[in-house]
Amino acid sequence: MFFEAMSEVIVYTTDHCSFCKTAKVLLAKRGISYEEINLARDPDGRAALAERTGMITFPQIVIDGETLGGFDALVAADRSGRLAALRAA
């Protein structure tokens, strides 16, 4: 599945997370805009996200309401060319 241009990208992060920082750098380098939601001080938000995605690690990348996955999934999507469709206009 390729993503459509102008997709909504949300990156869920936490404090002191090197994978979160690297994911944001990768998205920025590719010209992909995203919304960051930091859940470091939101245990209820973390629990709700884990229930929704089945993941407890960070970052978690959600595109148009569908969970892409974490950092490794983001890198795989970049390498396969899937992220190219998300480039900001």
CA separation for the pair 46, 30 (Å, rounded): 27
Give residue-wise pLDDT tens across range 61-81. 999 889 999 999 999 999 998
Give residue-wise pLDDT tens across range 22-65. 999 999 999 899 999 999 999 999 999 999 999 999 999 999 88
Amino acid at 26: L
The structure's pTM equals: 0.88
> Which fold is adopted by the domain 9-86?
Glutaredoxin (3.40.30)
User: 20 Cβ partners below 8 Å, 6+ apart?
Assistant: 11, 13, 14, 58, 59, 71
Confidence of residue 85 (pLDDT cuts 50, 70, 90): confident
